[in-house]
Amino acid sequence: MAKKQRSGQAAMEFLMTYGWAILVVLVVIGALAYFGVLNPQSFLPKRCTLSAGFSCPDVLVKANAGSPTIQLQFINGLSNPIELLTFKVIDTQQSGALLNCGPTGAALALTAGQQTELKAPLLTCLGSAVTVGQRIKATISFQYKDMATGYTHSSTGDLITDVE
């Protein structure tokens, strides 16, 4: 009888020891997730992708006192010249950063293969202030007119970058 009692006690001690160890590991993982260390979005590379025919090889978002500013290189890779009618960068996160950028003034004409830099005062951003180091995830949407055909088209893209 004493042997059964000792083996039962050993089994209970085994389960309790491993149970506490598993509980500690779960608490540590929960704390890391709560404080954002395990945020998978922080491991994603910076990127700016547009629909076929367009590219944005470099982008810069700066945190200013009033509202953020954005500088974006935009390349027309189409075979026809275009006229950029509207251009918006809208934040898709729920992090509180609101980027709502659009062109000011007249439409911008781009010849085939031309690269231009969209920046202030061409692009103005409205919304709440962003902080340095914050990750921005936004949708880029723009309308352009094909100068050869005269048709107006819409296009979209994605932007993931850090605020500098």
What confidence score (pLDDT) does residue 20 get?
92
Q: Note the pLDDT tens digit of each residue in 103-154.
A: 655 567 777 777 777 765 556 666 666 778 778 888 888 888 888 899 999 9
User: Domain-by-domain residue ranges, the chain?
Assistant: 2-38, 42-162
Strands, DSSP E only, in 38-121? 47-50, 54-55, 59-62, 69-76, 82-91, 100-103, 108-110, 115-118
pTM here is 0.65
The pLDDT value given to residue 86: 78
What are the tens digits of pLDDT across the range 18-75? 999 999 999 999 998 888 777 766 677 888 888 888 888 888 888 776 567 778 888 8
Q: Which class is 42-162 in CATH?
A: mainly beta
Q: State yes or no: pLDDT of 164 exceeds 50.
A: yes
Asked whether 70 and 125 are in contact (CB, 8 A), the reply is yes
- Please return the burial class of 110, using the count of CB atoms within 10 Å of its CB with bins 0-12, 13-18 and 19+: buried
